């Protein structure tokens, strides 16, 4: 029989991959992978804040990511630095500050590695509740804003001209991304959550020819990766995050082979 902790990890992982699929597609389409990575880096600061003030980790991470997103918007307006430089600045500055603050928290027993790379042992009932409730909410909102968000992803000016209010929905999407990172830190870890967003979506792109298909495939690939990754993690005692991401990589490589065959046939 499987241990309780492992079943909890499975339920958590499945919940997360249901959300990273569709959200990851938008991250890839909108070229936001570095942005998602920046939000994930700031999560360390969020976790230390949670420990310091003794509040819920997911909630604290979400608040810090949201603050960071607002900061980024302000910096974009006020400086002439290119976007990637600003993102790098915020990502590593927040990571550094987070690590410094951890140093002051020596009284609390604290596993930094688990935070960076995920730890299936750490998932408790409360986390499952946060993942499935938060994840469900993210999916419902994404479903509701799908049309205007997709229109603004295809072309901002077109969607603005035809009354789809792209600014509003872009902002909602940013919040959803921050929320997803907040709920998935424990399983995948903050260094690797961006991989969970991007790699299944990139794999799905190789085998789909329309947006809905790509979303469905990226959910499927995410699910397979979580299952393969977690069982591997259990068997060979590897960290859960890296195991899951390695599984996504394998799927990506397989999709490349298949993709090549398909494009050969077209010629």
Partner 1 sequence: MENKNKKILLKVENASFYLNNKALIKEVSLEIKQGEIVTLIGPNGSGKSTTAKIALGVYKKIEGRVRRFTERIGYVPQKISVDWTLPIRVIDFMSLTEDLKNDQINVALNLTGVEHLKNKSLSNLSGGEFQRVLIARAIAKKPELLVLDEPVQGVDFKGEIALYELIKKISEKLNCGILLISHDLHVVMSATDFVICLNGHVCCSGKPHTVVKDEKYKELFGDRASNILSLYEHDHDHSHSADGSIDQKK
Six-digit token string for 177: 């991304």
Q: Is 233 exposed, middle or buried (0-12, 13-18, 19+ CB in 10 A)?
A: buried
Choices 27-35, 51-59, 71-79, 247-255 (CB under 8 A): range interacting with partner 1: 27-35
> d(Cα 31, Cα 44) in Å, to the nearest integer?
23
Query: Is 77 one of the binding residues for partner 1 (CB under 8 A)?
Result: no
Among 80, 157, 257, 261, binds partner 1 (CB under 8 A): 157
153 binds partner 1 (CB under 8 A): yes
Is residue 28 near partner 1 by the rule CB under 8 A?
A: yes
Helix (H, G, I), strand (E, B) or coil at 40: helix
Residue 110 or 150: which CB sits closer to partner 1? 150
60 binds partner 1 (CB under 8 A): no
Smallest distance from partner 1 to CB 159, Å: 6
Candidate list 89, 139, 160, 232; residue touching partner 1; CB under 8 A: 160
* C-beta separation of 200 from 24 below 8 A: yes
Contact criterion met (CB below 8 Å) for 169 and 145: yes
Report how far residue 12's alpha carbon sits from residue 22's, in angstroms, rounded to the nearest whole number.
17
Query: Which stretch in 5-13, 24-32, 183-191, 249-257 sits in contact with partner 1 by CB under 8 A?
Result: 24-32
Binding segment for partner 1 (CB under 8 A), chosen from 87-95, 99-107, 204-212, 237-245, is 204-212
The contact pattern for partner 1, residues 111-150, with x = CB under 8 A and - = no contact, is: ------------------------------------x--x
Burial 191-207 (b: 16+ CB within 10 A, else e): bbbbbbbbbbbbbbbbb
Q: How many residues bind partner 1 (CB under 8 A)?
A: 25
Beta strands in the chain (DSSP E): none
The binder of partner 1 chosen from 83, 213, 253, 258 (CB under 8 A): 213
Per CB under 8 A, does 265 bind partner 1? no
Which span sits near partner 1 by CB under 8 A: 26-34, 56-64, 69-77, 218-226? 26-34
Exactly one of 161, 171, 253, 256 binds partner 1 (CB under 8 A); which one? 161
Alpha-carbon distance of 203 to 266, in angstroms, equals 19
Cβ proximity to partner 1, 170 vs 233, nearer residue? 170
The verdict on 205 binding partner 1 (CB under 8 A) reads yes
Spatial separation of the C-alpha atoms in residues 199 and 258, rounded to whole Å: 16
CA atoms of 13 and 184, how far apart (whole Å): 8
CA distance 139 to 18: 8
- Contact residues for 237 (Cβ-Cβ < 8 A; gap 6+): none
For partner 1, the binding residue among 210, 235, 237, 261 (CB under 8 A) is 210
Question: Which residues in this chain contact partner 1 in the complex, by CB under 8 A?
Answer: 28-29, 31, 147, 150-151, 153-155, 157-164, 202, 205, 208-211, 213-214
């Amino acid at each position: 029989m499987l241990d309780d902790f492992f079943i909890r990890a499975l339920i958590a992982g499945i919940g997360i991959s249901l959300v990273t699929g569709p959200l990851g597609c938008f991250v890839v389409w909108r070229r936001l992978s570095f942005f998602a990575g920046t939000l994930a880096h700031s999560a360390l600061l969020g976790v230390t804040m949670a420990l310091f003030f003794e509040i819920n980790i997911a909630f604290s991470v979400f608040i810090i990511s949201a603050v960071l997103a607002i900061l980024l918007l302000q910096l974009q307006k006020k400086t002439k630095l290119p976007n990637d430089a600003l993102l790098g600045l915020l990502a590593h500055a927040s990571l550094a500050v987070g690590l410094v603050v951890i140093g002051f928290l020596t009284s609390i027993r604290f596993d930094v590695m688990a935070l960076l790379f995920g730890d299936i042992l750490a998932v408790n009932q409360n986390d499952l509740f946060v993942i499935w409730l938060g994840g469900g909410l993210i999916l419902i909102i994404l479903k509701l804003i799908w049309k205007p968000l997709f229109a603004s992803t295809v072309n901002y000016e077109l969607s603005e001209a035809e009354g789809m209010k792209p600014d509003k929905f872009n902002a909602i999407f940013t919040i959803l991304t921050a929320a997803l990172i907040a709920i998935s830190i424990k399983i995948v870890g903050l260094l690797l959550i961006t991989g969970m967003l991007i790699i299944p979506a990139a794999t799905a792109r190789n085998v789909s020819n329309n947006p809905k298909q790509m979303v469905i495939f990226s959910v499927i690939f995410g699910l397979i990766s979580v299952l393969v990754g977690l069982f591997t993690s259990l068997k060979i005692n590897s960290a859960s995050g890296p195991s899951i991401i390695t599984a996504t990589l394998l799927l990506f490589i397989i999709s490349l082979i298949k993709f090549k065959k398909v494009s050969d046939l077209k010629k």
